[in-house]
C-alpha cells in the first residue's frame, strides 16, 4: 500500500503524457507537479523539522529571478540560472536557519514573512537589476537547453524528474536516521538535544535543502509561464499555497504535499472556470475556499489526508487481527 499510492500518483502524471492531448489538462498536470514539488520542499522544513515558514515564496522568487535574469542578462542557459538560484537560496537558507535557532514559534513565522516582503520590495523597486514592478518577460528560444519548450508533455517529464527528487528527499526523511532525529527536534527540541541529536545544524540543513528545492521550482515555473512578476513570485499568497498543500496532504509525509497540491490546484482551477471569466463577480472565491479548507483540516484532520488514510488502514488491520 505504501509503495502503491506514490506509484499510482506519479504513474498517472507520466501516463498523461501518452494518452492526453488536451492542452488545458496537461497544463493542470504541470501545475500540480510544480505546486506539489514546492509543497514537498516546504514540507522538509515545515513538516519534518517543524520550522513553519510563511515566507517560502522568497526562495521561489529567487529561483524564478535567477533563471530569468541569467537568460536576459547573460544570455546563458536557464538551467544555469536554476543552479545559481538554488545556491543563492541555500545561502539565504543559512540565514533563515540561523534565525530559526534564535526565534521560536510565531516569531520565526513572522520573520520569514518579513523576509519575503523585503525581497518583494527589492524585486519591484531595484529597476536597474530586476526591471522593477513591470516584471521580466522570459524570451522564448526553442530547445531543451534553453527551456524553450512548447510541448507541455515535455514539461510534464521535466517536472516529474524534480518532483521525484523532492519525493525521494521526503522518503529519505521518513526512513533514515536524520529523519528520525529531525522529527524529534520538531516534537521537542530540548529533549532531542538531551539525547545527543545535533538539533541546531539539522534544522539549518533542512531549511537549506527546502530552500534549494523551492528555488528550483521557481526557476522552472518562470521558464514554463514565461514571465516573472515580483508581486506574484514574492507574495504571501504563494507561501500560503505551499504550506496549505502540505498541511492538507499531511505534514511530515513524503506523498502528502503532492496529494494536497493536486486537490488544491484542481479545486482552484474548477472554481476559476466556474466563477471566473470576464465580468465574473466571484473571481476570488477560491481564496475563500482556501481559508475554509485550512480551518477544516487544522480543526478536524490535523494529520492531513495521508495521515488520515494511514490511521484508517491501521485500524482496519487491528480490527482484522482481533478475534
Would you count residue 226 as binding other proteins (CB under 8 A)? no
Shortest distance in whole angstroms from residue 195 CB to other proteins: 5
Q: Which of 43, 181, 239, 253 binds other proteins (CB under 8 A)?
A: 181
Angle at 257 between CA 253 and CA 261, to 5 degrees: 160
> Of 299, 237, 297, 249, nearest to 39 (Cα)?
249
188 vs 237, beta carbon nearer other proteins:
188
Position 297 contacts other proteins (CB under 8 A): no
> What minimum distance in Å lies between the beta carbon of 243 and other proteins?
19
Contacts of 319 (CB under 8 A, 6+ apart): none
- Is 198 among the residues that bind other proteins (CB under 8 A)? yes
The single-letter DSSP state of residue 48 is I
Q: Nearest distance from residue 102's CB to other proteins, in Å?
A: 15
Q: Which of residues 43-72 bind other proteins (CB under 8 A)?
A: none
Which span sits near other proteins by CB under 8 A: 140-148, 150-158, 185-193, 209-217? 185-193
Give the Cα-Cα-Cα angle 283, 288, 292 (nearest 5 degrees).
155
The residue among 78 and 304 lying less far from other proteins, judged by its C-beta, is: 304
**Cβ count near 303 (within 10 Å):** 17
In the complex, the smallest distance separating the C-beta of residue 60 from other proteins, rounded to whole angstroms, is 29
Per CB under 8 A, the segment of 41-49, 62-70, 107-115, 170-178 that binds other proteins is 170-178
Q: What cell numbers appear for 253 in the block?
A: 509525509
Residue 136 phi, psi (nearest 5): -120, 120
List 191, 288, 292, 295, residue binding other proteins (CB under 8 A):
191
Nearer to other proteins, 14 or 176 (CB): 176
Considering the complex, state which of residue 134 and residue 187 has its C-beta at the smaller distance from other proteins. 187
- Does position 321 interact with other proteins (CB under 8 A)? The reply is no
Beta pairing partners, 126: none
Residues with Cβ within 8 Å of 306's Cβ and at least 6 positions away in sequence, in order, are: 249, 250, 253, 255, 256, 259
Of 21 and 177, the one with the shorter C-beta distance to other proteins is 177
Instruction: Name the one range near other proteins by CB under 8 A: 158-166, 180-188, 223-231, 261-269.
Output: 180-188
Q: Which of 74, 126, 144, 180 binds other proteins (CB under 8 A)?
A: 180
**Among 20, 76, 158, 183, which residue interacts with other proteins (rule: CB under 8 A)?**
183
**3-state percent helix, strand, coil for the chain, nearest multiple of 5:** 80, 0, 20
Q: Taking the CA of residue 229 as centre, how many other CA atoms within 13 Å lie in the half-sphere pointing to its CB?
A: 5
Helix (H) or strand (E) holding 228: strand 227-228
Q: Rule CB under 8 A: choose which of 94, 111, 149, 193 binds other proteins.
A: 193
Single out the residue of 44, 279, 68 nearest to residue 165, CA to CA. Answer: 44
Using the rule CB under 8 A, which residue among 21, 102, 177, 299 binds other proteins?
177
How many other CB atoms are there within 10 angstroms of residue 310's CB atom? 16
| CA–centroid distance for 310 within its chain | 23
Instruction: Rule CB under 8 A: say whether 194 interacts with other proteins.
Output: yes
Among 22, 75, 151, 187, contact with other proteins (rule: CB under 8 A):
187
| Spatial distance between the Cα atoms of 176 and 44, rounded to a whole number of angstroms | 14
The footprint of other proteins (CB under 8 A) covers 175-177, 180-181, 183-184, 187-188, 190-200
Amino acid at each position: 500500500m505504501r509503495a502503491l499510492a506514490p506509484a499510482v500518483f506519479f504513474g498517472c502524471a507520466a501516463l498523461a503524457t501518452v494518452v492526453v492531448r488536451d492542452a488545458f489538462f496537461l497544463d493542470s498536470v504541470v501545475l500540480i507537479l510544480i505546486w506539489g514539488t514546492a509543497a514537498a520542499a516546504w514540507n522538509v522544513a515545515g513538516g519534518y523539522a517543524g520550522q513553519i515558514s510563511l515566507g517560502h515564496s522568497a526562495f521561489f522568487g529567487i529561483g524564478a529571478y535567477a533563471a530569468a535574469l541569467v537568460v536576459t542578462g547573460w544570455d546563458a542557459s536557464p538551467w544555469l540560472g536554476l543552479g545559481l538560484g538554488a545556491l543563492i537560496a541555500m545561502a539565504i537558507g543559512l540565514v533563515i536557519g540561523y534565525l530559526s535557532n534564535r526565534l521560536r514559534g510565531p516569531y520565526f513565522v513572522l520573520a520569514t514573512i518579513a523576509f519575503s516582503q523585503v525581497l518583494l520590495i527589492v524585486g519591484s523597486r531595484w529597476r536597474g537589476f530586476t526591471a522593477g514592478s513591470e516584471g521580466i518577460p522570459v524570451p522564448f528560444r526553442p530547445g531543451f537547453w534553453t527551456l524553450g519548450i512548447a510541448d507541455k508533455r515535455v514539461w510534464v517529464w521535466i517536472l516529474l524528474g524534480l518532483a521525484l527528487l523532492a519525493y525521494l528527499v521526503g522518503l529519505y526523511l521518513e526512513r533514515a536516521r536524520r529523519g528520525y532525529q529531525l522529527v524529534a527536534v520538531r516534537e521537542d527540541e530540548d529533549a532531542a538535544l538531551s539525547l545527543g541529536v545535533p538539533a541546531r545544524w539539522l534544522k539549518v540543513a533542512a531549511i537549506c535543502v527546502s530552500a534549494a528545492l523551492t528555488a528550483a521550482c521557481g526557476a522552472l515555473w518562470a521558464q514554463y509561464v514565461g514571465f516573472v512578476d515580483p508581486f506574484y513570485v514574492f507574495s504571501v499568497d504563494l507561501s500560503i499555497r505551499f504550506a496549505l498543500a502540505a498541511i492538507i496532504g499531511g505534514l511530515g509525509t513524503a506523498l502528502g504535499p503532492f496529494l494536497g497540491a493536486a486537490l488544491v490546484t484542481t479545486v482552484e482551477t474548477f472554481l476559476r472556470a466556474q466563477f471566473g471569466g470576464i465580468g465574473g463577480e466571484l473571481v476570488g472565491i477560491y481564496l475563500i475556499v482556501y481559508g475554509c479548507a485550512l480551518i477544516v483540516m487544522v480543526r478536524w484532520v490535523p494529520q492531513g489526508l495521508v495521515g488520515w488514510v494511514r490511521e484508517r488502514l491501521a485500524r482496519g488491520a487491528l480490527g482484522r487481527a482481533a478475534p
